[in-house]
Amino acid sequence: MSVERLRQDAHTLFQAGLVAVDPMEAIKRHVSLEGSLLRVGDRQYDLDGFDRVFVVGAGKAGASMSQAIEELLPGRISAGIVVVKHDHLLPTRTIELVEAGHPLPDEDGTVGARRITDLVTAATGNDLVICLLSGGGSALLPAPAPGISLAQKQEITELLLASGATINQINAVRKHISTIKGGQLARSASPATLITLILSDVIGDPLDAIASGPTVADSNSFGDCWQIIETFGLKEKIPEPILSRLRQGMEGRLPETPKPGDSLFKKTQNLVIAGNGLALQAAAEKARQLQYNTMILSTFIEGETREVAKVHTAILKEILKSGSPLPRPACVLSGGETTVTIQGDGLGGRNQEFVLAAAIEIEDMDNVVCFSAGTDGTDGPTDAAGAIADGATVSRARAISLDPQGALRNNDSYHFFDPLGDLLRTGPTNTNVIDLRIMLAGA
């Protein structure tokens, strides 16, 4: 089995994962309309019993989710506003798509969040609100709390991203400096009936973490946020208005976000329609069709990217040496989301850095390939979704004067892989279920 075949297969497995989490198909699997009866998961709603149907939402998959809902409910939608990342537009009829910044929020997102809040606040107890959420929703719905500017919210987001904080930790803080996150959109929509369809980009699919949980009860507190700030040594760095708000909230001088058991959630339904596990299962099925002995390592992978890469390549080395835990040809898949603690001034993302660290570990190994990519088509602040490497990658790099160790130290994986032609550029995929890692060992 040639390295070229392994490389091709890695791309094929990734595409199989993407197809499985296509938002259009995911909505069709979970939502149907028969006459006036709308079935959503195990619940049903008679649309003739509602005066109006509004659609709101945010996320990188927002455009394709909007198209799916419009196709499902022709002529039923009264109005809609969904915020998507810049350049992630698709044609829609009734639902207005608003472009905004990601991963750093911008003024366009603030305007979009304000308009969504105004729309759902106008809903009555006889209206239905359908909310479409997907990865990126947190950044795309910036609604700073009173006294906090967008620039200050951008600043704390940058600080948390650079510190190595997990997405759950970042979202916990975002919820408590916002007027829309952490169940507060549901508060604005009450007493309308609220259905939220969710494409999960968070490990384990916790509802209160996906897009910072604007329509679900919030399990985090001001105290949790204060602990996060202290853990990463940010107390002296974050803007004073944010620090003051967190302190006041921790001391009970500000109202908390809506918590489990709040009556405003009695008329809400939150349904995850696709997530990382579904993508991994589809990739695994395709791998088996291609005659690989296959295992899904975990959908809960997190931690420092380069350390996670060492663990994955250690498994690959064991397969080559002993045939354990799988005989060759072998495919090891994993999902989740790692973090990068930025130490240099290079360019890259967690997937590219994973592959760079893996490439160093598999140097000169035969018939092995390491692949990692973000299912949204974007890895960090780059135009690449991820990268691919094999046992000859490091020697090819050195032949054109690229230093793999130096690139890793400088967090410069993008400029390492670009000259090698080993970046994966998909463009926007219009879905987002975090990352897919593929490790292959040929026969």
Q: Each residue of 315-352: pLDDT tens digit? A: 999 999 999 999 999 999 999 999 999 999 999 999 99
In our burial notation (b when 16+ CB lie closer than 10 A, e otherwise), range 145-168 reads beebebebbbbbbebbbebbbbbb
Phi/psi of residue 295, nearest 5 degrees: -145, 145
**The predicted structure's pLDDT at residue 94:** 97
Helix (H) or strand (E) holding 9: helix 3-20
As a whole number, mean pLDDT of residues 75-84 equals: 98
**The predicted structure's pLDDT at residue 219:** 87
Answer yes or no: is pLDDT of 366 > 80: yes
Q: Each residue of 217-243: pLDDT tens digit? A: 998 999 999 999 999 999 999 999 999
**The predicted structure's pLDDT at residue 104:** 82
Q: Each residue of 270-296: pLDDT tens digit? A: 999 999 999 999 999 999 999 999 999
Phi/psi of residue 101, nearest 5 degrees: -85, 145
**The predicted structure's pLDDT at residue 209:** 84
Task: Go through the domains of the chain in sequence order and give each one's CATH number.
Answer: 3-13+277-441 (3.40.1480.10), 23-143+178-220+257-274 (3.40.50.10180)
Spatial distance between the Cα atoms of 153 and 144, rounded to a whole number of angstroms: 7
Confidence of residue 166 (pLDDT cuts 50, 70, 90): confident
Residue 375 identity: T
Spatial distance between the Cα atoms of 272 and 284, rounded to a whole number of angstroms: 21
pTM greater than 0.95 = no
**The predicted structure's pLDDT at residue 273:** 97
Residue 61 identity: A
CA distances from 279 to 14, 57, 206, 427 (A): 8, 23, 17, 18
Residue 392 identity: A
Residue that is written with structure tokens 């990601």 in the block: 102
Answer yes or no: is pLDDT of 152 > 90: yes
As a whole number, mean pLDDT of residues 37-65 equals: 97
Give the strand pairing for 386-390 and 423-424.
antiparallel
DSSP 8-state class, residue 327: P
